[in-house]
Amino acid sequence: MIYGSKSAEDVYLLWQEIIFSRGSHGGEIFFARSIDGGKSFSGPLNLSNSTAGDGKGRLTRERWDNGSLDLAMDPEGNLYAAWTDYEGHLWISRSSDQASFSRPLLIAGNGTEPARGPSLAVDALGMVHVAWTVGEDPAADIHFASSTDGGRSFGTPKVALKSEGHSDAPKIAVDSEGTLHLVYAESPAGRFAQYHIRYSRLLDGSRQFESPQEISGPGAQQVGGASFPALSLSSGHVFVTWEIFHSRGGRPQGLGFAHSRDGGQSFASAKIVPGSLDPASGLNGSQQGLLMKKLASNPKGALAVVNSTFKPNEFSRIWLFRGATGR
């Protein structure tokens, strides 16, 4: 995961490395920094340093996703790293100098209710928000917690939106008005069934998220459903992409896209990212990185989407899709 600061020369990397440290599942969380635009990087810093299988987002004992981590920066330049481990814990670590990190703080999760798929967002006043879902629960909901002291402590976790189905893979972002935006995948029939992409928001000063709206729609959802969304904001615009599944239990192929021009009040009809659905390129890659970010935008409305595709025993490729809002 790459994160840029206010300086064009600073680049921050957070990643999961499969290292077996005497635990049942391998995984450690590493951080590195570049101060010369990516020409060179500091030595890797191990933030987790545990045997718990860090970076894994457990769905069941037999199913999990690697890449269960996130990185964010506040207006003062403080960095926040969040990750989950196979044993079920959600951790957050803070850096005030972009070089060293605090001892990880336990936010939520345990062996029977493992936290999965954390997403971080920081508002203009430095309030830190984290959202996640819960594994081992066929009717999991999206949870979130917030910190008013720069990530040193977090309030009691709350359920963002209660539903009867299975909620997974949340992504959050905060706009300049203090509104917290949330996208996630929802399967009314429970785990391993057909998912849809839903969107909601928590207005500044409000105590409850708005009723969610389904934004994946039939136009870019296909038979198998839509899951693993990505989210980005730009000057009142809300952008969402997701993985398209053409069959239940199969691998994704192509990316869906939805766009709001009014801060999330409404969304245009869902579409397929042009060029992302090409049978000749095979299936979407990142088989163990579906929880990672693929979408970014800038204040001028320029969009960038990164995707990988592969054909078993033939080739794999990395694609960069660029677009604009057409303001």
pLDDT score for 325? 80
Of 47, 51, 37, the C-alpha closest to 16 is: 47
Report DSSP letters for 125-155, one per residue: T--EEEEEEESS-TT--EEEEEESSTTS--P
Enumerate residue ranges in the chain where pLDDT < 70: 1-7, 218-224, 326-327
Q: For residue 68, which of 78, 79, 57, 82 has the smallest C-alpha distance?
A: 57
In the three-class reduction of DSSP (H, G, I as helix; E, B as strand; rest coil), residue 218 is classed as helix
Q: Which residues of 45-59 are buried (b: 16+ CB within 10 A; e: fewer)?
A: bebbebbbbbbbbbb
Cα separation, 116 vs 168, in Å, equals: 8
Which residues, 6+ apart, have CB-to-CB distance to 241 below 8 Å?
229, 230, 255, 256, 257, 273, 294, 295, 305
Which residue, chain included where needed, has tokens 């207006």?
Answer: 75
> Boundaries of CATH 2.120.10.10 in the chain?
1-162, 175-327
pLDDT tens digits, one per residue of 57-85: 999 999 999 999 999 999 999 999 999 99
**Residue 214: in which H helix or E strand, if any?**
strand 213-214
Instruction: Answer for the pair 120, 128: CB distance below 8 angstroms, yes or no.
Output: yes
- What are the two backbone dihedrals, phi and then psi, of residue 145, each rounded to the nearest 5 degrees? -145, 155
CB 26 within 8 A of CB 18: yes
**Token pair 């970010």: residue:** 293
Query: Could you please report the per-residue DSSP string of 13-74?
Result: EEEEE----SSSS--EEEEEEESSTTS--PPPEES--SSS-BTEEESSSS-EEE--EEEEE-
In this prediction, residue 162 carries a pLDDT of 94
pLDDT, position 125: 94
Q: Which fold has domain 1-162?
A: Neuraminidase (2.120.10)
Q: Which pLDDT score is estimated for 254?
A: 93
Q: What is the pLDDT of residue 246?
A: 85
Q: How far apart are CA 215 and CA 232, in angstroms?
A: 15
pLDDT score, position 326? 65
Q: What residue type is assigned to position 317 of the chain?
A: R
Overall residue count recorded for the chain in this entry: 327
Q: What is the CATH number of domain 175-327?
A: 2.120.10.10
Structure tokens, 128: 């830190």
